[in-house]
Amino acid sequence: MNKLILGRYFPGESVLHYMDPRAKLLAGFIFIFIVFLASNWQTLALLTSFTFFVMCLSGVSFKVYLRGVRPLIWLILFTVFLQVLFRSGGTVYFDWGPITISHNGIINGVYIFFRFVLIIFFTTVITLTTKPIELTDGIYFLLSPLEKLKVPVDEIALMLSISLRFIPNLLDETQKVMDAQRARGTEFGEGSLLKQMKTLVPIFLPLYESSLNRAEDMANVMEVRGYQSGLTRSNFRRLTWHTKDTLALVTMALLTLGLLLLQ
């Protein structure tokens, strides 16, 4: 659990750290959309090269990114496994009832693997180089047009900010609870599936209780400081759009065009 880096911020002096959070969020949305345009090895190579270039710009070690994707590798492989077993087309290598291993299934499995990994790497770059409070301001700005439809944009942005802020705390607390259970003789990851599920119960209950207590404490603090839903508030931090932010979106547009041409 302590190897997940989702929601963590790494201070740095890279060009990405000084970019406007709105530009980074828009670039992330565009990347998640265009990553599914990678349908051959040329487009996949282009996206992979671009992702590694962005990772280099972040100034964060590649070991950090590998450490972040490692806990999710089994979920990715499970998705790839389903794609390989139940996707038909092309040369069939194995066929038994609903299970079919074919050439197209293997190729699509490889594409899905790289798509998931690239999405994780790119979104991790955004969270590692952007403070949670800046993400909140960026999300609020991007969702602000929905206020005309009576959508509680301010509450949504605050909720996302709190969630991102406490993900690392929750992961650290999970590790502490697991270490405490190990000290009492609990062995995780051993025995039958039912036994492994039972060993998770002593973890979820303390985490659930501590999460409720933390939520209540935060609600009390916000109430003491005068927070009220629906009120218009001023911003201490002002978002400033720079030339590099425009260049970033232009680069994403050119990347999209390149993928369409390579298809």
- Which of 1-10, 24-33, 56-65 is the most confident on average? 24-33
Tens-digit pLDDT profile for residues 70-93: 777 777 788 777 777 766 666 666
Please, which residues have CB within 8 angstroms of residue 217's CB and are 6 or more apart in sequence?
none
Tell the residue number behind the tokens 């197209």, with chain if given: 104
The pLDDT tens digits of the residues spanning 205-226 come to: 888 888 888 888 888 988 888 8
DSSP structural state of residue 186: -
Cα Rg, the chain, nearest whole Å? 22
**Which of the four pLDDT bands, split at 50, 70 and 90, describes residue 23?**
very high
| Distance from C-alpha of 69 to C-alpha of 43, rounded to nearest angstrom | 22
- Token reading at 33: 């959309």
CA distances (Å), 201 to each of 173, 198, 231, in order? Answer: 15, 5, 41
Rounded-to-integer distance, Cα 29 and Cα 143, Å: 13
Q: Write down the pLDDT at residue 137.
A: 82
Instruction: Specify the pLDDT at position 255.
Output: 92
User: Does residue 47 contact residue 163 with C-beta atoms inside 8 Å?
Assistant: no
Q: Rounded mean pLDDT of 173-181?
A: 82
Integer Cα distance of 62 and 77 in angstroms: 21
Per-residue tokens: 28: 């992330």
pLDDT above 60 (res 1): no
* In the predicted structure, residue 27 carries a pLDDT above the cut 70: yes
Averaged pLDDT for residues 26-48: 89
Instruction: Note if the pTM is more than 0.85.
Output: no
pLDDT in tens, 148-165: 888 888 788 778 777 777
Identify the three-state secondary structure at position 96: strand
Judge contact between 11 and 236, C-beta under 8 A: no
Spatial separation of the C-alpha atoms in residues 99 and 88, rounded to whole Å = 9
Distance CA 208, CA 23 (A): 36
Mean pLDDT of the chain: 81
| β partners of residue 101 | 94
The pair phi, psi for residue 150, each rounded to 5°, is 65, 25
